């Protein structure tokens, strides 16, 4: 293989490794942001509904879908699919995005903290909700 190609491959490998480190740091920072949510929410394989619903597998599901959690009519009827975008809007100001929500939380205003929080919650994308009840 020509030397230039080898150099290119090595550089690409290093870049991928770097971006993985960056992603891990985001999730770790997000875990610290999640400390604010922990009073009410759980995530992970042993998560249970508490004051708020389990947040496993959040991205891609609709509002109000965790079984066994008593949502407000406002949240259940909001008909929002949780994506990174809708979640970011919501967590900035929950009562503006879903008027009448019973989530009593002022919001996270800092854009970087919201990104870190998203990276952290993505760690639980594949953790089923049904098995956690």
Residues that bind ligand HEC (CB under 6 A): 36-37, 39-41, 51-53, 55, 58, 63-66, 71-72, 74-75, 91, 101-105, 108, 117
Compute the least distance from the CB of residue 11 to ligand HEC, in Å: 37
Distance, first Cα to last Cα, the chain: 55
For residue 59, give the nearest of 35, 38, 80, 33 by alpha carbon: 80
Residue number with CB closer to ligand HEC (45 or 77): 77
Residue number, 1 or 35, with CB nearest to ligand HEC: 35
Smallest gap from residue 92 Cβ to ligand HEC (A): 10
Note every long-range contact of 64-67, with CB atoms under 8 Å and residues 24 or more positions apart, other chains counting.
65/129, 66/129, 67/129, 67/130, 67/133
Rounded to a whole number of angstroms, the minimum distance from the CB of residue 125 to ligand HEC is 13
Cβ closest to ligand HEC, residue 91 vs residue 119? 91
CB of 12 to ligand HEC, least distance (A): 34
Q: How many CB atoms lie within 10 A of CB 99?
A: 9
| Contact indicator for 55, 43 with CB cutoff of 8 Å | yes
Q: Residue 132 has what DSSP assignment? A: G
């Amino acid at each position: 293989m020509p030397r230039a190609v080898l150099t290119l491959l090595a550089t690409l490998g290093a870049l991928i490794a770097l971006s993985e480190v960056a992603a891990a740091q985001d999730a770790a920072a997000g875990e610290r942001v999640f400390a604010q949510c922990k009073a009410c929410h759980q995530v992970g394989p042993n998560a249970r509904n508490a004051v708020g619903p389990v947040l496993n597998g959040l991205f891609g599901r609709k509002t109000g879908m965790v079984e066994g959690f008593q949502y407000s009519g406002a949240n259940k009827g909001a008909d929002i699919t949780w994506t990174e975008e809708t979640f970011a809007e919501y967590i900035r100001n929950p009562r503006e995005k879903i008027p009448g929500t019973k989530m009593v939380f002022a919001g996270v205003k800092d854009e970087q903290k919201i990104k870190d929080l998203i990276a952290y919650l993505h760690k639980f994308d594949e953790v089923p909700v049904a098995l956690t009840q």
